[in-house]
Chain A
Amino acid sequence: MSAHTHVEGQLPHEPEKATLEGRNKVLGFWLFLGGETVLFGTLFAAFLALRHQVLDGPTANHLFDLKLVAYATAILLTSSLTSVFAIQAMHQQKVKSLINWLIVTVLLGLGFLGLEIYEFVHYVHEGHGFTTSAFSSSFYTLVGFHGAHVLFGILWITLLIIQLMRKGLTVVTAPKVYVAGMYWHFIDVVWVFIFTVVYLMGKVV
Chain B
Amino acid sequence: MASNQPATEQNTKRHKVEGPKKHIVAFIFSILLTFIAFATVISGEINKDFIYIILLGTAVLQVFVQMAFWMHMKDRGHKYALIGILSGVFVVFTCVIMAEYWVWW
Interface residues of A (CB under 8 A from B): 12-14, 17-20, 23-24, 26-27, 30-31, 33-38, 40-42, 44-46, 48-49, 66, 70, 73-74, 77-78, 80-81, 84-85, 88, 91-92, 171, 182, 185-186, 188-189, 192-193, 195-197, 200-201, 203-204
Contact = CB atoms under 8 A, between A and B. Distances in A.
Contacts of A189: 62-63, 66-67
Give chain A's interface secondary structure class: helix
Contacts of B71: 182, 185-186
A192 B1 contact: no
Given A26-B2, A41-B88, A196-B37, 18 more contacts: A23-B4, A30-B78, A33-B88, A34-B86, A34-B87, A41-B95, A45-B98, A46-B99, A49-B100, A81-B27, A85-B23, A88-B18, A91-B18, A192-B62, A195-B34, A195-B37, A196-B58, A197-B59
B101 to A, nearest CB: 10
Tell me which of B56, B58, B66 has the highest count of chain A C-beta atoms within 10 A of its own C-beta: B66
Contacts of B63: 189, 192-193
A192 B59 contact: yes
A73 to B, nearest CB: 6
A200 B59 CA distance: 11
Given A30-B81, A84-B70, A88-B20, A48 B27 contact: no
Contact of B56 (A17, A48, A185, A196): A196
B34 A188 contact: no
B66 A185 contact: yes
20 contacts: A12-B7, A12-B11, A13-B17, A14-B15, A19-B7, A23-B2, A26-B2, A33-B84, A37-B91, A38-B88, A42-B95, A45-B95, A48-B96, A66-B38, A77-B31, A186-B71, A192-B62, A192-B66, A193-B63, A204-B52
Interface residues of B, number: 55
A134 to B, nearest CB: 11
Interface in B16-48: 17-18, 20, 23-24, 27, 30-31, 34, 37-38, 41-42, 44, 48
Contacts of B37: 195-196, 200
